[in-house]
């Protein structure tokens, strides 16, 4: 038996086979072939398809984001046509009698290394482009999308790290648990695990010595683990590989007990979220995908308080069209049958990266080009999303919320764009309705001007994940800083209270949709502050309801005041 200790991001126990997920190796197997010429023909066909895709991307980008940003696709086309690359692929196929996938991956690696070693900065940067091109070719050859992993049964995924774009593309029915060597508990991959309600561990490397790290994190990523029985006890933060019979029995029993506890909570379904002294709370679910709706409904969500719409973009290889988005938002609105569905507009950037956005590398991406800043800078992308949202709004109670606001002028600018979109839809005779408009309060600047902001919108939703990051000056992606990332810091809690007060003074409601909202140790404090709504991962709804039902807020407020003053 082997054990690994990590940081739990969502509790529970998972038992199943381990799958060691490796980004670079995922689809590329070296296979001997009988007829190399057939493989070369496959390669040529894939090259043609990839060239066509790049041309389409170029034309689309030219229209939407201008020539300078579109130029990258031209560069990719030129590199794809490069005789040297093609020669190398053909040569590998012919001399080694191997499949086209392997030849593309090998040529891609060789060329990327060659560029990376060049003196000239511009040429060095082409290394990433070569990787991009070979990945595109591999996808065409394999006829599958990036990030997917192939598994016929549910598995425990063990990986070095997982990007949100990879996690979101995994078939959720096939994932029992995640265990990653790196990764922060505050990253979006961790948040996705919580939304999916699966036990997960990150940062297994934290307690390891340099020697262990060199050996693929103490063997965590070695092929030896593939297919072995694993148990993730995310309550204790441990992954067991091939646990002994006695221990396995004990863990199976714990899993059973966990399930029984969950079932007990299900008896609270259908109850109103109201305290002993009559204070009501809206208890909504956070989702990243229309597939998460089942979990939201199963856990009796009163609505959707945060639909992270950027995951629609992360799942795709090109900008989702208005029709594609409309169909997703309509499904969510209809499924929630009149309950409020708050859809957050595109919050791309920082750890949520989409290749096709072609964003320049940044020194400080968390403080960089992201979220509403991109939308205001590239209004065409923003307008496409707003059109889809306003059209879908006819089919249910959609509300729209804008992320990363820092200033009143941004909200006014958004309103101008919203008005333009409404005018355009009206002119075109397209059915739509204007949803409620809210903003996320997730920067200290927004907190400080929240009274002014409250005059402009219908509601606030406090994003404590980013609010903690920006208030405490701690990169939420950096696992080394997890111990310093303290959302219970008085500065954060006082900010929440201030935002709620300012919202109420202007007659609007305020909720919390960051992960702190699910912290049951604070539920009574949030009630005492007058928080109107909590939006949490679906699995956290019923445990919070239990606390709400047992709380006398007037009584607790006395205790809370004393604590706040001390």
Q: Do the bridges between strand 229-233 and strand 13-21 make them parallel or antiparallel, or are there none, so unpaired?
A: antiparallel
Site membership for ligand PEP, residue 347 (CB under 6 A)? yes
Choose among Mg ion, ligand PEP, none what residue 308 binds, the Cβ cut-off being 5 to 8 Å by kind: ligand PEP
Site membership for ligand PEP, residue 466 (CB under 6 A)? yes
Site membership for ligand PEP, residue 345 (CB under 6 A)? no
Given a contact cutoff of 8 angstroms between Cβ atoms, the answer to whether 273 and 280 are in contact is yes
Given a contact cutoff of 8 angstroms between Cβ atoms, the answer to whether 405 and 441 are in contact is yes
Count of residues making up the chain = 566
| Number of residues in contact with ligand PEP under rule CB under 6 A | 11
Kindly tell me which residue out of 243, 396, 463, 539 binds ligand PEP, with binding defined by CB under 6 A: 463
The residue number whose beta carbon is nearest to Mg ion equals 466
* Residue 232 backbone phi and psi in degrees, to 5: -100, 115
Choose among ligand PEP, Mg ion, none what residue 147 binds, the Cβ cut-off being 5 to 8 Å by kind: none
Comparison of 135 and 347: residue with beta carbon closer to Mg ion: 347
Q: Which stretch in 114-122, 163-171, 410-418, 461-469 sits in contact with ligand PEP by CB under 6 A? A: 461-469
Question: Binding to ligand PEP (CB under 6 A): which residues in 296-315?
Answer: 306, 308
CB of 167 to Mg ion, least distance (A): 17
Comparison of 6 and 463: residue with beta carbon closer to ligand PEP: 463
Please return the burial class of 564, using the count of CB atoms within 10 Å of its CB with bins 0-12, 13-18 and 19+: middle
Question: Binding to Mg ion (CB under 5 A): which residues in 455-494?
Answer: 463, 466
Provide CB contacts within 8 A for 454, sequence distance 6+.
460, 502, 503, 505, 506, 508
CB of 43 to Mg ion, least distance (A): 43
Site membership for ligand PEP, residue 464 (CB under 6 A)? yes
Given a contact cutoff of 8 angstroms between Cβ atoms, the answer to whether 349 and 381 are in contact is no
Catalytic residue among 76, 188, 354, 375: 188
Angle between helices 36-81 and 100-116 in degrees, nearest 10: 30
Angle between helices 121-142 and 100-116 in degrees, nearest 10: 170
Given a contact cutoff of 8 angstroms between Cβ atoms, the answer to whether 402 and 344 are in contact is yes
| Distance of alpha carbon 20 from alpha carbon 156, whole angstroms | 8
Kindly tell me which residue out of 320, 349, 514, 538 binds ligand PEP, with binding defined by CB under 6 A: 514
- The CA R_g of the chain, rounded to the nearest whole Å, is 25
Reading the block at residue 307, the tokens are 């639909």
CB of 306 to Mg ion, least distance (A): 9
Comparison of 101 and 347: residue with beta carbon closer to ligand PEP: 347
| Distance of alpha carbon 179 from alpha carbon 206, whole angstroms | 13
Q: Which stretch in 105-113, 375-383, 464-472, 480-488 sits in contact with ligand PEP by CB under 6 A? A: 464-472
Catalytic residue among 19, 354, 375, 513: 513
Question: Binding to Mg ion (CB under 5 A): which residues in 430-449?
Answer: 442
Closest CA to 26 of 148, 144, 124, 154: 148
Comparison of 309 and 384: residue with beta carbon closer to ligand PEP: 309
Comparison of 281 and 348: residue with beta carbon closer to ligand PEP: 348
Is 375 assigned a catalytic role? no
Reading the block at residue 136, the tokens are 């595109």
Instruction: Please give the order of strands across the beta sheet that includes 200-202.
Output: 2-5, 238-241, 229-233, 13-21, 155-159, 175-180, 200-202, 7-10
Site membership for Mg ion, residue 525 (CB under 5 A)? no
Reading the block at residue 361, the tokens are 């590398």
The binding track of 383-422 with respect to Mg ion, each residue x by CB under 5 A or -, is ----------------------------------------
Comparison of 205 and 404: residue with beta carbon closer to Mg ion: 404
The three-state secondary structure class of 5 is: strand
| Distance of alpha carbon 353 from alpha carbon 165, whole angstroms | 7
Reading the block at residue 564, the tokens are 């706040």
Kindly tell me which residue out of 299, 465, 523, 540 binds ligand PEP, with binding defined by CB under 6 A: 465
Residues with a catalytic annotation lie at: 188, 513
Using CB under 6 A, list all residues that contact ligand PEP: 191, 306, 308, 347, 442, 463-466, 513-514
Using CB under 5 A, list all residues that contact Mg ion: 442, 463, 466
């Amino acid at each position: 038996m082997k054990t690994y200790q990590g940081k739990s991001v969502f509790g529970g126990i998972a038992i199943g086979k381990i799958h060691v997920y490796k980004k670079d190796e995922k689809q590329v197997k070296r296979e001997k072939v009988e007829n190399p010429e057939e493989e070369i023909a496959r390669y040529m066909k894939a090259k043609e398809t990839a060239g066509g895709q790049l041309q389409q991307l170029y034309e689309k980008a030219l229209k939407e984001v201008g020539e300078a940003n579109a130029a990258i696709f031209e560069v990719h086309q030129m590199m794809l046509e490069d005789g040297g690359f093609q020669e190398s692929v053909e040569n590998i196929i012919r001399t080694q009698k191997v499949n086209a996938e392997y030849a593309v991956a090998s040529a891609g690696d060789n060329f990327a290394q060659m560029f990376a070693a060049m003196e000239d900065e511009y040429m060095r940067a082409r290394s990433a482009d070569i990787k991009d091109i070979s990945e595109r070719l591999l996808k065409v050859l394999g006829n599958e999308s990036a990030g997917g992993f192939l598994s016929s049964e549910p598995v425990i995924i063990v990986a070095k790290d997982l990007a949100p774009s990879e996690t979101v593309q995994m078939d959720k029915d096939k994932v029992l648990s995640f265990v990653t060597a790196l990764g922060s508990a505050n990253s979006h991959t961790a948040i996705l695990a919580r939304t999916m309600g699966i036990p997960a561990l990150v940062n297994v490397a934290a307690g390891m010595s340099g020697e262990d790290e060199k050996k693929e994190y103490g063997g965590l990523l070695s092929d030896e683990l593939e297919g072995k029985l694993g148990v993730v006890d995310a309550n204790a933060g441990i992954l067991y590989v091939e646990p002994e019979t006695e221990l396995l029995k004990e863990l199976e029993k714990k899993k059973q007990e966990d399930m029984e506890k969950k079932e007990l909570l299900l008896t609270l379904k259908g109850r109103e979220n109201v305290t002993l002294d009559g204070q009501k709370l809206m208890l909504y679910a956070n989702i990243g995908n229309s597939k998460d709706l089942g979990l939201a409904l199963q856990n009796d969500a009163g609505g959707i308080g945060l639909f992270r719409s950027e995951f629609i973009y992360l799942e795709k290889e090109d900008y989702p069209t208005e029709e594609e988005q409309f169909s997703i938002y309509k499904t969510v609105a209809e499924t929630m049958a009149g309950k409020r569905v708050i859809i957050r507009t595109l919050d791309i950037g920082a750890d949520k990266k989409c290749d096709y956005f072609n964003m320049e590398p940044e020194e400080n991406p968390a403080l960089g080009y992201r979220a509403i800043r991109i939308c205001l800078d590239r209004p065409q992308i923003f307008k496409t999303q707003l059109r889809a949202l306003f059209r879908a709004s006819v089919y249910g109670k959609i509300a729209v919320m804008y992320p990363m606001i820092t200033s009143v002028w941004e909200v006014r600018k958004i309103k101008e764009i919203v008005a333009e979109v409404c005018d355009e839809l009206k002119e075109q005779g397209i059915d739509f309705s204007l949803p409620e408009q809210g903003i996320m309060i997730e920067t200290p600047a927004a907190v400080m001007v929240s009274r002014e902001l409250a005059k402009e919108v219908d509601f606030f939703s406090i994003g404590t994940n980013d609010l903690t990051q920006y208030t405490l000056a701690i990169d939420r992606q950096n696992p080394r800083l997890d111990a310093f990332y303290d959302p219970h810091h008085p500065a954060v809690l006082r900010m929440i209270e201030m935002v709620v007060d300012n919202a109420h003074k202007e007659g609007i409601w305020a909720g919390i949709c960051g992960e702190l909202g699910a912290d049951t140790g604070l539920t009574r404090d949030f009630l005492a502050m007058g928080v109107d709504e909590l939006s949490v991962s679906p699995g956290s709804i019923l445990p919070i309801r239990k606390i709400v039902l047992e709380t006398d807020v007037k009584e607790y407020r006395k205790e809370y005041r004393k604590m706040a003053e001390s």
